[in-house]
Amino acid sequence: MKKILAATVLGLSLGLSAQAFAEPVKVGMITTLSGGGAGLGIDVRDGFMLAVKNAGASDLEVVIEDDAQKPEIAVQLADKMIQSDKVDILTGIIWSNLAMAVVPSVTAQGKFYLSPNAGPSPLAGAQCHENYFNVAWQNDNLHEAMGAYANDAGYKKTFIMAPNYPAGTDALAGFKRFFTGELAGEVYTQLGQTDYAAEIAQIRASGADSMFFFLPGGMGIAFMKQYAQSDVGIPAMGPAFSFSQDILGAVGEAALGVKNSSQWNKDIDNEANKKFVETFQAEYGRLPSLYASQGYDTANLIISAMGKASVSDADAFRAALKAAEFASVRGDFKFGNNNHPIQDIYVREVVKEGDVITNKIVATAFEDHQDAYAAQCGM
């Protein structure tokens, strides 16, 4: 069922003043709110709407729809939002196969698309577009950081695994780009898979000294529980998607000590991040995940552009987006030539703080890291 949320001037209740915008902006959010990937979409949505509330952005209207993690539904919703709802900007897609189905059509129709998550390599390279901005990362980035970490940790023979869809292939490509050791095995699983007995048997028999996996949402929960019960005995590592706050409660203590990579964590020390973590907990009663942080930054980027230009002046609004003059929860934030972030990426460790399983930053993997596909972008 469609939900239409018109943001009201609630920022005053938080001691904030409403910003004067050039003109109203209508955003269409297509995200995953049902099924095994729902937690990711819910966090993006909640982070986005919190930023709107905190800013008192009464001239920003958000139309929210559930794509059910199906490309054909996402395409239909995008067309409806553009043609019937008359949105100015689209956002929200979690999964890269859905992004590849939707984004080229959106930008071809002259609309802006701001990705709060999916970052498939073609859209960063040869298929980049001036109206497409990725506010999260390019798919390979966090996996590249774990490839570099595996070298630093002294691993020589790593088994790698990811789902068989665009983000999965980008993930393993990113890890291999920086890992200098030997691969003990490389396996692609089914998207949405929940039984990993066969893959765990392959890991056990591979002679690996470590294993890297990218399995977001419910896939990661299922795998980590089964992996912990298997007593394979070699350290696991992965990107933040496999150890995000939204799934750590379900994984439990099996995740403790695991290293993972992220461009954000709740302990990044800046005022914007402190406010985000505090107000997210107060609003929703849970710690935010990196998905929530990406939704929050995406909304704040839009709000910053609204304060500088009219969305009906595409060139001016595009320039305002590109300038990225907003207080990111990540601290320093800037776009590269292909409208993807150039940013620091950290190594985190899963720890227990009181009764809560969460992450803390233990190292910086990359500073001012740009994706490998920017050179293929003609912008």
One DSSP character per residue, 123-176 reads: HHTTT--TTEEESS--TTHHHHHHHHHHHHTT--EEEEEEESSHHHHHHHHHHH
One DSSP character per residue, 278-324 reads: HHHHHHHSS---HHHHHHHHHHHHHHHHHTTS-TTSHHHHHHHHHHT
Domains and CATH numbers, the chain: 2-137+268-335 (3.40.50.2300), 140-262+345-376 (3.40.50.2300)
Q: What is the pLDDT, as a whole number, of residue 8? A: 36
| Dihedral angle over CA of 187, 128, 138, 162, nearest 10 | -10
63-72: pLDDT as tens digits: 999 999 999 9
Q: What is the pLDDT, as a whole number, of residue 242? A: 86
What average pLDDT values come out for the chain (379 residues) when binned by 10 residues? 40 36 85 92 98 95 97 98 98 97 97 97 97 97 96 97 93 96 97 95 97 91 92 93 87 91 97 98 96 98 96 97 98 96 97 95 96 96
Q: Which amino acid is at 346?
A: Y
pTM to 2 decimal places? 0.90
Q: What is the pLDDT, as a whole number, of residue 20? A: 46
The token duo for 105 is: 């059509």
Nearest CA among 218, 214, 5 for reference residue 92: 5
Q: What is the pLDDT, as a whole number, of residue 250? A: 87
Nearest CA among 276, 295, 297, 296 for reference residue 287: 276
Q: What is the pLDDT, as a whole number, of residue 323? A: 98
Q: What is the pLDDT, as a whole number, of residue 249? A: 86
The token duo for 7 is: 């943001």
| H or E element in which residue 198 lies | helix 197-205
Report in angstroms the alpha-carbon separations of 346 from 18, 141, 180, 330, 366: 34, 11, 19, 11, 7
